[in-house]
Amino acid sequence: MRLALFEPDIPQNAGTMIRTAVCLGVEIDLIEPCGFVWGDRHFRRAGMDYLERAGITRHDSWEAFLDASRTAGRRLVLLTTQAAQRHLDFRFAEEDVLIVGRESAGVPEAVHAAADARLKVPMAAGERSLNVAVTAALVLGEALRQTDGFGRDA
């Protein structure tokens, strides 16, 4: 299981997702460009000392990430409010890469088109969206539960 951050633009959210991934034993794919400087103080504060232990692969572009993921035989699972399928109704696999978009704009159509699955987190009627870091944690939790990914190293 991996978590991919597509061109994140809020450093606190990126740091929080990286910290979450470290705690859950999940590798990170960071798809550039970021909307902040890698060493940003807000990013460092949110990621704390977890940034030093994170397994992060930085990709120069969406195309570079897509090529690496396809070469590795990974399934791309996009988390989006535009999906019809709930994450709770999806069957996750260990090789999945969960993709979250930019906080300000989501992902472009090319990312939607390349995704093998598009999932949403169910919310109360009329609500727009959850914070991207909260969404990532919710879906990672379910994906790891399904694939028995919790506690492998514990």
- Summarised one tens digit per residue, pLDDT across range 50-95 is 777 888 899 999 999 999 999 999 999 999 999 999 999 999 999 9
Burial class (CB in 10 A: 0-12, 13-18, 19+), 49: exposed
Residue 154 lies inside a defined structural domain of this protein:
no
pLDDT above 80: residue 42: no
Backbone angles phi, psi at 62, to 5 degrees: -60, -40
What is the rounded distance in angstroms from the CA atom of residue 6 to the CA atom of residue 119? 16
What is the rounded distance in angstroms from the CA atom of residue 64 to the CA atom of residue 68? 6
Instruction: Name residue, tokens 């379910």.
Output: 142
pLDDT above 70: residue 48: no
Backbone angles phi, psi at 95, to 5 degrees: -85, 5
Residue 52 lies inside a defined structural domain of this protein:
yes
Largest interatomic CA distance in the chain: 40
Residue 152 lies inside a defined structural domain of this protein:
no
What is the rounded distance in angstroms from the CA atom of residue 68 to the CA atom of residue 146? 25
Residue 151 lies inside a defined structural domain of this protein:
no
- Number of structural domains (the chain) is 1
CATH number at residue 50: 3.40.1280.10
Residue 100 lies inside a defined structural domain of this protein:
yes
Nearest-5° angle of CA 41, CA 22, CA 150?
155
| Structural domain for 73, as ranges | 2-146
What is the rounded distance in angstroms from the CA atom of residue 15 to the CA atom of residue 8? 10
pTM: 0.91
